[in-house]
Amino acid sequence: MEHLKIVGGRPLVGSVGVSGAKNAAVAIIPAALLSRGVCVIDNLPDIEDAVSLVDALEKMGARCERTGSGALMIDASGLSEYRANFDSVRRIRASYYLIGALLGRFRQAEVALPGGCNFGSRPIDQHIKGFEALGATVGIEHGMVIARADRLRGAHIYLDMASVGATINIMMAAVLAEGRTVIENAAKEPHIVDTANFLNILGADVKGAGTDTIRVSGVERLGGGEYTIIPDQIEAGTYMIAAAITGGDITVGNVIPKHMESVTAKLRETGAFVHEGDDTLIVRGARPIHAASVKTMYYPGFPTDLQPQMVALLTLGQGASYVTETVFENRYQYVNEMKRLGCDITVDGRMAVVNGVPRLTGAHVTATDLRAGAALVVAALAAEGETFISNVKYIDRGYENMVGKLRALGADISRAATADE
Ligand code: UD1
């Protein structure tokens, strides 16, 4: 086991490049199973969730090869396995995409129930509802999701909530179904558009991704193609917030500023300066940090995946900030850890009241999930003295080379084996 050691108090200064989007990568890798050709995925982030999925694909018989400079070649033309019950699948949440992809390709799928970050019950009933509407029978036996269909036929599906996972999963199962599928109340996150664009490059016919109605006209076969993954909205936001909390001055490169608008607006409310370039954002922290109200929402609202990092910033705000988490029921588990750094946060259901304190002080803390880990890093960068963060494996799931990137910005951060384990 490894931990991070951070000596806080240094403003972040310089440039940081954003990697490919985790949540697009974990959808696009399984989507390649729908193809009978060779897919090349560029700008693939070097993160553990992607490694786990590639491992799963290889175990199922796909040929995967890193072709250098962040590209991944996937050739699933000879695949005949529709079962996935490996550790690599059980570990991550996004393995649910294997269900949609395998169902689309083979009309059957057996996939271990997804694991991943635990912040609420995270059901997949909307995914299942979609598969069933397309003609599949879906059951859960011995921890496996088992889906089968004699034929997949296009259907009209209205999602009860704009679920990111269900939208992408149904889209994947529908591209090789007969006829037309309409997904209403679809989620609109950038990685949904990215996955649809990837499928279209392979020959699919998906229209409307990025709006709340997606129309998929089934095709008989998907071929190969090359596609470049979009920059990671959440990674970019994490560095923006880190610049703000440290009173730093950074340029975030390889970013789509449009995807960052909710974050940019909120950072400006806290007093930070943000300048939008074509594919860069300049962020300068300011003092005092103003309190702000934050409500997480589906895209284009403020992303739930940046809520913990934003709370970290608000712990040093002047006065009380009110944060409402509307997407996940239980996404404040990190608060107890963050309190070790000296912040004043009260949680009541979906609401957190963050009373700003004049300073944070370093402590031993534990990452409870991916974004919780990122939030602890953000807070530690501003805390006086040394912070030790254990459970770094969570951070590795979704951030490429976070230590290297922060060191290049002048942070005093290092990674070491934890002695007593
Ligand atoms: C995805 C992201 C995750 C992000 C989340 C919200 C990936 C791999 N993960 O997760 O990083 O935090 O979107 O932006 O892209 N729900 C149901 N039934 C379902 C599906 C969802 O009740 O069948 C509920 C969930 O419990 C949650 C809400 O809907 O309360 C949103 O979940 P969803 O958008 O599906 O999130 P994920 O796909 O799990």
For atom 7 of ligand 1, the residue with the nearest CA is: 23
Which CATH number applies to 22-228?
A: 3.65.10.10
Most ligand 1 atoms within 8 A of CB, residue of 53, 140, 161 to mutate: 161
Instruction: Tell me what pLDDT residue 168 has.
Output: 98
Question: Which pLDDT tens digit goes with each residue over 227-258?
Answer: 999 999 999 999 999 999 999 999 999 999 99
Residue from 22, 327, 371 whose mutation best tests the ligand 1 pocket (most atoms within 8 A of CB): 327
Q: Residue 115: its pLDDT value, please?
A: 66
Strands 144-148 and 108-112: antiparallel
**How far, in Å, is the centroid of ligand 1 from the Cα of 12?**
32
Confidence of residue 116 (pLDDT cuts 50, 70, 90): low
Q: Tell me, what's the pLDDT at 43?
A: 97
More confident residue, 85 or 372: 372
* pLDDT score at 120: 54
Counting every residue written for the chain, the total comes to: 421
The model's pLDDT over 341-366, given as tens digits with 9 standing for 90+, comes to: 999 999 999 999 999 999 999 999 99
C-alpha angle with apex 280: 250 to 168, nearest 5 degrees? 115
Quick one: pLDDT band at residue 270, thresholds 50, 70, 90? Answer: very high
| Confidence (pLDDT) at 123 | 85
Looking at domain 2-18+231-417, its CATH architecture is: Alpha-beta prism (3.65)
> Does the structure show a pLDDT above 70 at 117?
no
pLDDT digits (tens, 9 = 90+) for 5-17: 999 999 999 999 9
Active site residue 39: no
Q: Of these residues, 39, 64, 117, 343, which one is catalytic? A: 117
Closest ligand 1 atom to 187 CA: 34
For atom 11 of ligand 1, the residue with the nearest CA is: 305
Question: 111 is written with which tokens?
Answer: 């996939």
What does the pLDDT average to over 361-372? 96
Q: Convert the chain into a string of H (helix), E (strand) and C (coil).
A: CEEEEEECCCCCEEEEECCECHHHHHHHHHHHHHECCEEEEECCCCCHHHHHHHHHHHHCCCEEEEEECCEEEEECCCCCCCEECCHHHHCCHHHHHHHHHHHHHHCEEEEECCCCCCCCCCCCHHHHHHHHHCCCEEEEECCEEEEECCCCECCEEECCCCCHHHHHHHHHHHCCCECEEEEECCCCCHHHHHHHHHHHHCCCEEECECECEEEEECCCCECCEEEECCECHHHHHHHHHHHHHCCCEEEEECCCHHHHHHHHHHHHHCCCEEEECCCEEEEECCCCEECCCEEECCCCCECHHHHHHHHHHHCCEECEEEEECCCCCCCCCCHHHHHCCCCEEEEECCEEEEECCCCCECCEEECCCHHHHHHHHHHHHHCECEEEEECHHHHHHHCCCHHHHHHHCCCEEEEEECCCC
pLDDT of residue 121: 59
Query: Residue 220: what pLDDT?
Result: 97
User: What's residue 91's pLDDT?
Assistant: 80
Q: Closest ligand 1 atom, CA of 23?
A: 15
Domains 2-18+231-417 and 22-228 share a fold: yes
Using alpha carbons, list the distances in angstroms from residue 275 to 47, 255, 310, 370: 29, 12, 19, 28
Q: Domain ranges in the chain?
A: 2-18+231-417, 22-228
Closest CA to 40 of 215, 190, 228: 228
Arithmetic mean of pLDDT over the chain: 95
Query: How much of the chain, in percent, has pLDDT values that exceed 90?
Result: 90
Does 420 have pLDDT greater than 90? no
- List pLDDT tens digits, range 184-205: 999 999 999 999 999 999 999 9
pLDDT band for 119, please (50, 70, 90 cuts).
Answer: very low
Q: What's the pLDDT at 114?
A: 77
CA of 187 to the centre of ligand 1 (A): 10
Average pLDDT over residues 30-54: 96
Average pLDDT for residues 140-144, to the nearest whole number?
88
Residue 21 has pLDDT above 90, yes or no: yes
- Residues in contact with ligand 1 (CB, 6 Å cut-off): 23, 26, 93-94, 120, 122-127, 161, 163-166, 187, 304-305, 327-328
What's the mean pLDDT in 88-95?
85
Taking residues 146-167, report their average pLDDT: 97
